[in-house]
Amino acid sequence: MNNVNKYSRGYFMPPETSLNWTQKEYITEAPIWCSVDLRDGNQALIVPMNLEEKLEYFKLLVAVGFKEIEVGFPAASETEFAFLRTLIEQDLIPDDVTIQVLTQSREHIIRKTFESLKGTKKAVVHLYNSTSLAQREQVFRKSKQEIIDIAVNGAKLLKQCAEETEGNFQFQYSPESFTGTEIDFALEVCNSVIDVWQPTAENPIIINLPSTVQMSMPHVYASQIEYMSGHLHRREHVIVSVHPHNDRGTGIADAELGMLAGAQRVEGTLFGNGERTGNVDIVTLALNMYSHGVDPKLNFHNVPDLIAVYERLTKMRVSERHPYAGELVFTAFSGSHQDAIAKGMKWREDEQPKHWSVPYLPIDPLDIGRTYEGDIIRINSQSGKGGIGYVLQLKYGLDLPAKMRENFGYFVKNVSDQKQKELLPDEIHDIFMQEYVNIKSPVEFVKYRFADNDDYQTTVTIRIDGETKEIAGTGDGRLDAISNALQSELGVAYSDLNYKEHALELGSKSQAVSYISITAPGGTVHWGCGIDVDIMTSSVKALFSAVNQLSRHTVNA
């Protein structure tokens, strides 16, 4: 690209090596989660939520299990102020949930914020001011000391207002635009605030280090977090929090590496809603932990319902490829993927292993409210016999022989290709029933009977072109006798009759299913399926279906 030289790396590495986080393999416990959907997320919507929508969204976040929820910037507008007052006055905040409010380090905003908090049981008051080099030079045109003074004066006023206001308050400070701030200066600002607040074991504070704008690769952010975590004053009484945005598309990685580097708390939103490219997606972050056997302490057992409420209230859309949540993320269209998944699911059914390890499925879709039937394997022209057979078996109980799956698979793929569309399970089932099951043309089976005391002599009643007739045959068994009657009386020839049967376990349990293949003189294999309440009759119907397939092929040839 032509203008690459106009860009430079605007971030700052720590003044000393901070790489201990690289020795950790994975996150071992859930962080403190704080949802900022109602503040950071809401302010990024094209049409922000109204009061009723915000109240419903708050209840959704509580149901998910968030114990800390940032409810807004109450001094910013009457809508924000009214929302907070409604939560407090209508006693809508559960006792185990702490609300959080945001305030700039400006006196009138801080005082208005505490006015909005009157009567609350517990709240985090989140103070921030921007510290980055770009903001200092271009926006505020202030020195480092002047920026420190803004933070310190705000911290002092928070402490004073908390003492004057009834309630239980915890303090949080964010050096906004942290990722564009010289790390030693960010540390100096944070420690200056900590020295004012004097946190204790009984009253810890939160230092939030936001990736307000992503400027580096995730490992740099992790090193920044580790350095800050190791040099903050009164560290044992400080909760280190991260607030990653997603400008470079690495919000999840920033949060995960940040936790490895010492962060104990994460601020983010459902599905990553937020300004520009969004905030860190807590759904993905939590389910990443879940996939490693770590309880995220949030309830995502019904993601489809969560998406429905989220999309209705925010007017945003969750992409089909969104990790874990997207409509297609557990879906395989590829034949080889479908085959591996189908075999993996069968192996799991047979072996009953302790841990989940199905190919191509990082977690069990059932755990988050998805289904095997409609989500795992979907059929189009790229699909394979394994996936098509799996769909028939899972939803309709039809366990086709391997070779029949292959035969039917090519047929279905051709239909999908010609129609240029995905085929739904019911469409696949309809094709199977139409092309293979109980086929009555050109020869319709009516009934059979065997001679008294001789199971190997049979008379079969058939119907051809509306005319009913009887044919007779003998053989080494009942099905062989009927097969011989068909060949001798109708003049059809075939060999290598193969047979499989099973009970139809889904739907009507009283039915039996039979599958038969026959080989024409030229070597072409033809398949038929019969379904009936009587196992012998189902096998006869399967034989007639296969013979009719052969007859159709002969006529078309």
Q: What number of other Cβ atoms are within 10 A of residue 373's Cβ?
A: 11
Residues 6+ apart with CB under 8 A from 28: 294
Question: For the segment 61-93, what is each residue's pLDDT rounded down to a tens digit?
Answer: 999 999 999 999 999 889 899 999 999 999 999
Give the per-residue pLDDT at 447: 94
pTM across the whole model: 0.83
Q: What is the pLDDT of residues 178-225, one digit of tens each?
A: 999 999 999 999 999 999 999 999 999 999 999 999 999 999 999 999
Burial of 316: CB neighbours in 10 Å, binned 0-12, 13-18, 19+: middle
How confident is residue 557, by pLDDT bands cut at 50, 70 and 90?
very low
Phi, psi of 237 (to 5 degrees): -110, 15
- Dihedral angle sign, alpha carbons of residues 483, 489, 494, 495: positive
**Average pLDDT for residues 277-305, to the nearest whole number?**
97
- DSSP annotation of 142: -
Helix ranges (DSSP H) in 67-179: 78-89, 107-116, 133-134, 144-164
pLDDT of residue 508: 52
Based on the number of CB atoms within 10 Å of its own CB, is 224 exposed (0-12), middle (13-18) or buried (19 or more)? buried
What domains lie within the chain, and their CATH numbers? 25-314 (3.20.20.70), 335-434 (no CATH), 443-556 (3.30.160.270)
Number of neighbouring beta carbons within 10 Å of residue 106 = 15
* pLDDT band at 383; cut points 50, 70, 90: low
